[in-house]
Chains A and B, each alone.
Chain A
Amino acid sequence: MFQGKIKANFIKTIIDATAILVDEAKFKIADDGIYGRTVDPAHVGMIDFKLKKEAFDDYDCKEETEIGIDLDKLKTALKVATSEEMVELKYEKEEGRLKVSIGNLTRKIALLDVTEMPDTKIPSLELPAEIVISTVEFHQAIKAAESISDHVTLIADKESFELVAEGDTDIVELRLSKEQLYSLKCEERVKSMFPLDYLSDMVKVARGKSEELTINLGNNYPIKLSFEMAGGYIKIMYLLAPRIESE
């Protein structure tokens, strides 16, 4: 049995963040919070989120369990709630449905079979550069890049962070010095290219949710994007595989 009350905005963010990659997802409900980790069907992007019980008002989980969610359905159910409204979630194994209550309105959502949903592991990656950037500024640059190209190159060195996209005729660049970033840790120059359709969706989720976005970058290597909400009780992390054209 699980029961919890949470701000609509928080649970909506978790659902939206996962829905950019998949239609259905498996969530683990544990005594200290809710966890989810999923890769998209093409195995290019991954999400890993932690929704700690502290992000809830009243959180009660008697027994650890896994539930399979049709994200579109839950999204529709949550649509009626304003972002500040409280949503009550309740799950009882016997019933097999997730009960979503907003005010006096309740909706029982049929759950999916989790036995068919594989467990996902996070690959262990050594990402030498860490950049903390303004989400708004990064989002703006990604949007500009998207208008001219399908992919973007991110470069970091000791002094700066750079974004470059080249279209058929035009070029988009963003260059920020160490001082213009929240922080920059980078010993040697690293450079990787990423597909913009994925990256743009990921950054869009972070915008408006967190002022800072942490980027971990390597050389022709996956990127890790992470941000926090609710005073750190909600953590969302994305991994995105690179595009390597030199091979």
Chain B
Amino acid sequence: MKVKPKKFISLDESICIRCRGAKLLCGKARCPVLVRYYKNLEAKPLVEKKIIFGSSPPSIFIGRHGYPNVYAGPMLPPLQGDTSYMDLPEKWHDKEIDDIVDFRMKLVRGKYRININTRTGKIIEYIQEVAMAERPVDMEIEFEKKPKGVIALYDEVQPHGPSAPIKKIWVENPKVNKRIEKLYYDEIKANEAVLLLYENGIFVSSIQKAFSAGLFGIEKRFVPTRWSITAVDDIIGKKLVEEIKNYRWIDEYRVYYTKSLDNLWVIFFYPSSWQYELIEAWYPNTTWNPLGKKIVMYGDYELYDGRHEYASIGGCYYAARLAVAEKLKKEKRQAGAIVLREIHPGYIMPVGVWNVRENVRKALKNEPKKFDNFKEAILFISSLLHIPIKRWIEVSYLFKNMLYQKRIDDYYCKIM
């Protein structure tokens, strides 16, 4: 059974949640939510010089405006040494929003206009080498003008600092990851390259970097950073889901939870064939519910055969699915999974979709609370959440299905 697209709900308050600064559904030229953040941040110029020397974590950024002619380039801080943490979301789960913003603001983005299909040129080679690098890469960039801006925010991509067009660039010879380098020369499909690296324990964020630099595939091309993040989450998640479908169902109901960046995460696993849902509840005055007086709840789900259409809530759906599937794959078990996320008012700005992936992973590392039946599990879930369980059930396709949809098994004669 394939999932049909959800019907459109015309609620003004839900516009931001479906758009998240990407589609400009409100009809304005710039996202007013993001503009507000920029204004609130004091505009103290971080970089006063046109030339910066520093160690790139390594990091690159491929824009999406003007696609297929986009701005691409490395990012570097005016600092030298081990800057690797600056572009490694896998290590950020114990950080506060302020810490993350603080070090991400230091990353200056070099911009160079390229066509995504271009394969030659010094700068293009540099970008690709940086994307392959295993550890920080020293580089010097001379910009056309002083880098502009304080911080750039996105929903799916982690924020970064000011940016400017590149005039001249020098990059040290980086130590490249041998596996990534080998895949670059191999003529294998991008999907297969992603899966191979993942199976070899390469960080998802590193795979995404290499993917956006167009290192993989038969026809290699650059991919905007934003798209590459979700593409990689989706490729890996889909593969893991196919594998867990071969495993036995879990026997009990499990509840995992964690808190981070004023987000509350509750994850429910139950005995079932694979199905998955993510529901987010945005409190008023959180990033994507800036105007609302009420909590806005939105979700997407898939049944056994997956989705036909891109999830309306965006990249977070695929990021959480990867984390959930990863856990089940590790245990060699199959289950249904519902991820509930309450975004409380302390979540003041978007930090990127890594937040979803890493926090679901973190929650799933905890010992779960286990229950023999659905009712007890739901009671426990309801004690964790601030929003009444009734409202979650109203929004949730899978909860309703569990409560109301009978199974053939319910009709076998109980007495032999």
Contacts and interface: CB of A to CB of B under 8 A. Distances in A.
Interface of A: 39-46, 121, 123-125, 150, 168, 195, 197-198, 201, 221-222, 239, 241-245, 247
B412 A42 contact: no
14 contacts: A41-B274, A42-B275, A43-B408, A44-B407, A44-B408, A45-B408, A123-B411, A123-B412, A123-B413, A125-B411, A201-B1, A242-B406, A247-B403, A247-B404
A198 B2 CA distance: 10
A44 B412 contact: no
Contacts of B4: 150, 197
**Secondary structure at chain A's binding surface: helix, strand, loop or mixed?**
loop
A84 B100 CA distance: 67
Q: 7 closest pairs, A vs B, by CB?
A: A41-B273, A123-B411, A241-B406, A43-B407, A197-B1, A243-B404, A41-B304
Nearest to A240: B408
Interface magnitude class on chain B: 20 to 34
B404 to A, nearest CB: 5
B406 A124 contact: no
A195 B405 CA distance: 8
A46 B289 CA distance: 44
B251 to A, nearest CB: 15
Contacts of B303: 42
B409 interface: yes
A42 B304 CA distance: 8
A243 B245 contact: no
B410 interface: yes
A241 B405 contact: yes
Contacts of A168: 7
A239 B411 CA distance: 11
Contacts of A39: 408
A156 B2 CA distance: 29
A41 B410 contact: no
A241 B404 contact: no
Nearest to A146: B4
Nearest to A46: B408
A244 B401 CA distance: 10
Contacts of B2: 197
B404 A124 contact: no
A42 B410 contact: no
Contacts of B405: 44, 195, 241, 243
A198 to B, nearest CB: 6
Contacts of A195: 405
A123 B414 CA distance: 10
Given A243-B404, A247-B403, A222 B1 contact: no
Contacts of A44: 405-408
Given A42-B272, A42-B303, A42-B304, A222 B412 contact: no
**Secondary structure at chain B's binding surface: helix, strand, loop or mixed?**
loop
B406 A222 contact: yes
A121 B412 contact: yes
Nearest to B3: A197
A176 B411 CA distance: 29
Residue among B1, B272, B303, B413 with the highest chain A CB neighbour number at 10 A: B1
A42 B335 CA distance: 11
A92 B233 CA distance: 44
B409 A43 contact: yes
B247 to A, nearest CB: 12
B271 to A, nearest CB: 11
Interface in B264-321: 272-275, 303-304
Given A41-B274, A201-B1, A241 B304 contact: no
Contacts of B7: 168
Contact of A241 (B245, B274, B410, B413): B410
Given A124-B413, A197-B1, A201-B1, A41 B407 contact: no
A244 B1 contact: no
A42 B407 contact: yes
Residue among B274, B275, B409, B411 with the highest chain A CB neighbour number at 10 A: B411
Contact of B406 (A40, A41, A150, A244): A244
Contacts of A201: 1
Contacts of B412: 121, 123
A224 to B, nearest CB: 11
A39 B413 CA distance: 17
A198 B409 CA distance: 17
A244 B410 CA distance: 12
A243 B407 CA distance: 9
Interface string B390-416: 000000000000011111111111000
B412 to A, nearest CB: 5
A42 B273 contact: yes
Given A41-B273, A198-B1, A123 B404 contact: no
Nearest to A120: B408
Contacts of A150: 4
Contacts of A197: 1-2, 4
Given A222-B406, A244-B406, 8 more contacts: A41-B273, A42-B1, A42-B273, A44-B406, A46-B408, A168-B7, A241-B405, A243-B405
A121 B406 CA distance: 17
Nearest to B397: A150
A198 B274 CA distance: 17
Contacts of A42: 1, 272-273, 275, 303-304, 407
Residue among B275, B404, B406, B412 with the highest chain A CB neighbour number at 10 A: B406
A197 B274 CA distance: 17
A222 B403 contact: no
B411 to A, nearest CB: 4
A43 B275 CA distance: 13
Contacts of A241: 405-408, 410-411
Contacts of B245: 41
Contacts of A46: 408
Contacts of A40: 1, 304
B39 to A, nearest CB: 39
